[in-house]
Amino acid sequence: MDKEKKLVVDSIVDDIKDEKLKEIKDKLKEAMDENLVESLLSSNEIEFEYLGIDYKVRKLLYKERQELYRERAKEHMRLLQSDEYVPEDKIIELYKNKGTDIKELGNQIKALQKQIDNLNMKLGKALKDKANDKELTTYKNQISDLTDKQKDISIRKTNYLTYSLENQVNLYSYSYLTYLSSEKLEKGKDLGEGNKEQDKWVKVWNNYDEFLNSEEELINLLA
């Protein structure tokens, strides 16, 4: 865990003295080590128009990064202390007892990816060697079949874990990121005599509650 994330997590868990909550503290720190947040923070700026208004999604400022880490940690802790959702490892165990091995599905996805990568290398070599169309088509069809199979298994795995605690934290993180990174172009007022205030980018929502109560279509476009 880098220094930035450690400071955020420590600031939240320092006041937890009860030994019974040690597991929660450990799981919280593990959650902040996930790659998801880093991938969320690295998105590029995107602009678009919706109902005559210009919107953009931009990279977060440093203080906004801190806020996202802090909110993610708080949500993870809240869910750990409640009975709303079951941790992923418990769901995996429950399904395994009923005959469905979710970890094995993950292994199958990885194995299929290795086969796909291998075939892509063969296809690349075949293209370089100017192989005949029949050979190229064979490789392409094999890659397509394996990709479809991998996609089906991935969907099954995702569906099994949809209501896991970790997935709910991830969904919350995506939502909070959208709230933090979305802006709209506020047109400057006409001052008369050909003068006009400068246009400026402002936050779409003043707070997270306002975001939650806003139009779903706009949120989907910005997310």
pLDDT at 92: 96
pLDDT at 38: 53
- List 195's β-bridge partners, or say none: 192
Query: Same domain, yes or no, for 77 and 113?
Result: no
Tell me the C-alpha distance between 175 and 140, whole Å.
38
Query: Same domain, yes or no, for 73 and 176?
Result: yes
91 within a domain of the structure (yes/no) = no
Q: Which helix (H) or strand (E) holds 192?
A: strand 190-192
pLDDT tier for residue 101 given thresholds of 50, 70 and 90: very high
Full-model pTM: 0.68
Query: Same domain, yes or no, for 109 and 176?
Result: no
Number of domains composing the chain: 2
pLDDT at 219: 85
Range of the domain at 113: 96-160
Q: Are 188 and 196 in contact (CB under 8 A)?
A: yes
90 within a domain of the structure (yes/no) = no
Query: Same domain, yes or no, for 132 and 74?
Result: no
Q: Which of 20-34, 42-56, 92-106 has the lowest mean pLDDT?
A: 20-34
pLDDT at 46: 81
Angstrom distances, CA of residue 128 to CA of 49, 125, 144, 159: 43, 5, 20, 40
pLDDT tier for residue 43 given thresholds of 50, 70 and 90: low
Q: Mean pLDDT in the chain?
A: 83
26 within a domain of the structure (yes/no) = yes
